[in-house]
Amino acid sequence: MSQPTPVTPDTLIRPEVRALGAYRVVDATGLVKLDAMENPYPWPGDLTDAWLARLRDTQLNRYPDPAAAELKQRLRETLQIPAGAELLLGNGSDELIQILITAVGGREAVVMSVDPSFVMYRQIAGGLGMRYVGVPLTADFQLDPSATLTAIEQHRPRVVFLAYPNNPTGNLFDIAAVREIIAATPGLVVLDEAYSAFSGKSFLGRVLDHPNLLVMRTVSKLGLAGLRLGFLVGRPDWLSQLDKLRLPYNINTLTQVSAEFALSNMGVLEQQARKIAADREGLAAAMAALPGLTVFPSQANFILFRVPRGTVDVVFEGLRARGILVKNVSAAGSALNDCLRVTVGSPAETAGFLQALTKCLA
C-alpha cells in the first residue's frame, strides 16, 4: 500500500486563504495609543461603580440570552430605530461583515466597495473566495459617481459596502451620490456608520425607504471597544435570512449586560463624542499649521494626513520613538501614499502628539 501524501498547509488550506496576509495589530505597550480610533475617556467613577454592581449579579454559569432581547430593546429605544426594522447583533462589525458576505457568496459573486476604505471588506471577501472590486475615490477621497455606477453595471455586485464616514479618510460622501448607488445596485448596499456619533449624519432613520439597504453600526467608537458589539438594521426579510448564519450565543453575557447598562447612560457617551468632535477641529487646525502636511477633512474621530514625500516611515517611527503610536496607512503607488492616520485623543494626548510631530518634521 502506498504511503499517503503528507498533509501540509499548502495541500489543505484553500489558495484564497494562503494568499491573504493576516491582519496585524501593532504592540502598543508603553505608548500613547492613537492608532485605533478608540474613545480616550474612561467612565466617571460613580458610573463604573454602578456597572460593577450590575455585573456582580450576572450569572456566568448560564449561557447568555441567545436573542439578546433586553439589549435589542435598549438599542431600539436609545437610537430610535424605526418601527418595523429588525436588528442583528454581531461580535463586532467584523462578524456581521462575514455573515453578509457568506450569505450572498459564491465563486462568481462580487463584493464591492470604494478604494481606499475599511480593509476588512476586502480581507473577508478574499478569505471566503469571492471577488472584490474596489472603485477608486477621487484625489480628494470623494465618491466618483460615474466610475462607481459603471462598476456596478459591469460587475453586478451582490453587496456594496460604503463606510459613512469613510475609514481611513474620515470624510462623508455626498448624500445624493449615495442614494444613486443604492438605487443602481442589484444587490445589497450596506452603509457602515461606525463613526456616526462624530458626524451627526445617518441613514438609520431611512433604512426602510430602500428595499436593498442595511445600516451597520458599532458601539466601539463610543467608548465600548472592549465589548465587541456591532449591529445591523434593516428589513426583517433580509435579517431573518442572515440570522441563520449567526453562531449561537455570539453575544456573551458580559457584553449584553455591559452594553445595556452603557446605553442606559447614553448621555455620558454622547457628551464624550461631542467633546471628541470639537477637539478634532482644533487638532486639524493645529496640524494644518505645520510645514509640509496635508490634512484631510474628517467627520470621524480621527484625522488622515499626508507627510512630505518619502518621509512617512521616518515620521511614523519618529513618533513611536517619542512614545506616540499612530496608524501607518501608506502604501506605495496607492491613493494613501505618504499618509498616516491619528485618533483624536485626550487633550494631553493630543498635545503630546503635536509636540512629537513637530519635532519629527523639523
Q: Is pLDDT of 246 > 70?
A: yes
How large a percentage of the chain has pLDDT more than 70? Answer: 99
Q: What is the mean pLDDT of residues 209-221?
A: 96
Q: What is the mean pLDDT of residues 73-86?
A: 96
Residues in a beta bridge with 304: 341
Q: Is pLDDT of 300 > 80?
A: yes
Q: Give start-end residues of each CATH 3.40.640.10 domain in the chain.
A: 60-265
Q: Pairing relation of β-strands 324-325 and 32-33?
A: parallel
Closest-CA residue to 176 (of 221, 145, 222): 145
Q: Pairing relation of β-strands 86-90 and 327-328?
A: unpaired
- The span from the CA of 342 to the CA of 299, in Å, is 13
What pLDDT digit, counting tens, does each position of 316-356 carry? 999 999 999 999 999 877 899 999 999 999 999 999 999 99
pLDDT tier for residue 4 given thresholds of 50, 70 and 90: confident
Is domain 9-44+267-361 given the CATH code 2.40.160.20 in the classification? Answer: no
Closest-CA residue to 165 (of 177, 173, 175): 173
Q: What is the mean pLDDT of residues 43-58?
A: 94
Is the Cβ–Cβ distance between 223 and 40 less than 8 Å?
A: no
Torsion angle of alpha carbons 296, 302, 308, 310, nearest 10°? -120
For the domain made up of 60-265, give the CATH fold.
Aspartate Aminotransferase; domain 2 (3.40.640)
Is the Cβ–Cβ distance between 233 and 217 less than 8 Å?
A: yes
What pLDDT digit, counting tens, does each position of 22-34 carry? 888 888 899 999 9
The three-class DSSP label of residue 338 is coil
Q: What is the DSSP letter of 66?
A: T
Q: Which amino acid is at 135?
A: V
Closest-CA residue to 361 (of 289, 304, 298): 289
- The span from the CA of 242 to the CA of 255, in Å, is 21
pLDDT tier for residue 125 given thresholds of 50, 70 and 90: very high
Residue tagged 449579579 (cell numbers) = 57
Sheet holding 110-115, edge to edge: 86-90, 230-234, 213-218, 188-192, 159-163, 110-115, 131-136
Q: Give start-end residues of each CATH 3.90.1150.10 domain in the chain.
A: 9-44+267-361
Average pLDDT, the chain: 95
Query: Residue 11 has what pLDDT?
Result: 84
Confidence (pTM): 0.94
Residues in a beta bridge with 32: 324
Of 14-18, 71-75, 271-275, least confident by mean pLDDT is 14-18
What pLDDT digit, counting tens, does each position of 262-289 carry? 999 999 999 999 999 999 999 999 999 9
Residue 300's Cβ-side half-sphere holds a number of Cα atoms within 13 Å equal to 27
Residue tagged 459573486 (cell numbers) = 109
The three-class DSSP label of residue 189 is strand
pLDDT tier for residue 1 given thresholds of 50, 70 and 90: low
